[in-house]
Each structure stands twice: as structure tokens, then as C-alpha cells.
Amino acid sequence: MPHIPQGTTDTVALELFDPALDAALRPSPDYDVSRWLYVPNTYSEYRYILGTRGQKSLICVGINPSTAAPDALDPTLQSAQRIALNNGYDSFLMFNVYAQRATRPDDMERVCNSALHEENRKAFRYLLSLSETPAIWAAWGNIIEKRDYLMDCMRDFAADGQAANAQWFTAGPLLKSGHPHHPLYLKSTTALQPFDIDAYLRR
């Protein structure tokens, strides 16, 4: 079933990232925490992180989460995982520019919830901290144009990435629009190539 937001995110209780991460690191009856990282670790109106654990992880940055959960990846995350593995990574960590769940990006809220964005930045910084040279795959496609605030959020994440000495990549060449490809329709053998995030944001 698709996820349709039940209102704006400021109308639901916001689980802060740090306690949500603590809970996600404890054993769960619902999935294998030695294999999965899922924050929050229960289904809600938003999601900070979903991915697999490993020694060499690829951080995949999309726009917003849909219904995926551990052992129940949606087609986008299945494709992201295949591409990560085929590019020499042993795991992938799905992160999103905006944490609100909405199967259709058109259903995302019209105004950025700044409190949710700040917690999402904490999640991104945590992912960056897992490696000395984090690898980030820009994978949002043209969907970043759906809301004006998404590019502003992206600028914050680019600054966080720069502070962490992160390397940015795209899968295949950029779209005609100048945005990086969304993973869904890419071949699993698509090679990652360097992405100049600063030039992208200046354009």
C-alpha cells in the first residue's frame, strides 16, 4: 500500500534522532539488527535511515522515504542496493533530503518542518561519522524540484559532507536537467562517477 501522509509532520510526535538511534541499535523482535540499520526502528510518518550494515558503506541520498522497511525493500531501495554492491560496496545506507514518508512526492508537505530537518541533519552526520572518507551517492533525480525547500536542505547536507571530507558520486551521467539520476530505472551495473556537489548547487 502507498503511504499517504496523515497531515503535516508538525502534528505528530517527533522522535529525536539520538534516542531513536539508541533504540535502533538494540535487539528487535521484528528484524535482525546485526544486518539492518533502521531509524526510527518502527514504522512512522517519517524515517531517518534505512540500510544494511558493513565495513564499506555507500550513503545513498534520495528525496523522501516511502514504505520500505527491513526485509521489505521497495523497488527503489532494491535498485540502490544492487548498484552499491556492483560498485564494490558491501552495504548501502538510504538517507533522504526530507524525512517525511510519502509514496508520491507530490504529497510531501508544502512547508519545511525545521525541527524535522535538524533531526535529519543529525542522522546524516551520524552516517558520515561511520567512515573516514564517506562515499555519498546523489540519487534524487528531478524530484528535488517538487518543493522549493528541498534544495535549501540539500545545501545543508553538502556543508555537512564537506566538513566530513566526503566524496560525492552519481550513477551514470547527469540528466538533461542537470540533476543526478534516480536509482529506480538504472541498470545494476551502472558505474558510479565523481559528482561536483558544489558546482551543482551553484548552477
| Torsional class of 88: left (φ above 0), alpha (ψ -120 to 50), beta (otherwise) | left
- For the entire predicted model, the pTM comes to 0.96
Residue pair 135/58 in contact (Cβ under 8 Å)? The answer is yes
* pLDDT computed for residue 123 by the predictor: 98
Strands 135-138 and 57-62: parallel
C-alpha cell at 193: 562517477
Q: What is the mean pLDDT of residues 113-126?
A: 98
* pLDDT computed for residue 7 by the predictor: 87
* pLDDT computed for residue 84 by the predictor: 98
* Reported confidence tier of residue 197, pLDDT bands at 50, 70, 90: very high
Q: What share of the chain is helix, strand, coil (3-state, %, to 5)?
A: 35, 20, 50
The pLDDT tens digits of the residues spanning 178-196 come to: 999 999 989 999 999 999 9
C-alpha cell at 180: 543526478
What percent of the chain shows pLDDT beyond 90? 97
Question: Which is more confident, 106 or 185?
Answer: 106
Residue 117 has pLDDT above 90, yes or no: yes
The pLDDT tens digits of the residues spanning 29-87 come to: 999 999 999 999 999 999 999 999 999 999 999 999 999 999 999 999 999 999 999 99
The pLDDT tens digits of the residues spanning 4-30 come to: 898 899 999 999 999 999 999 999 999
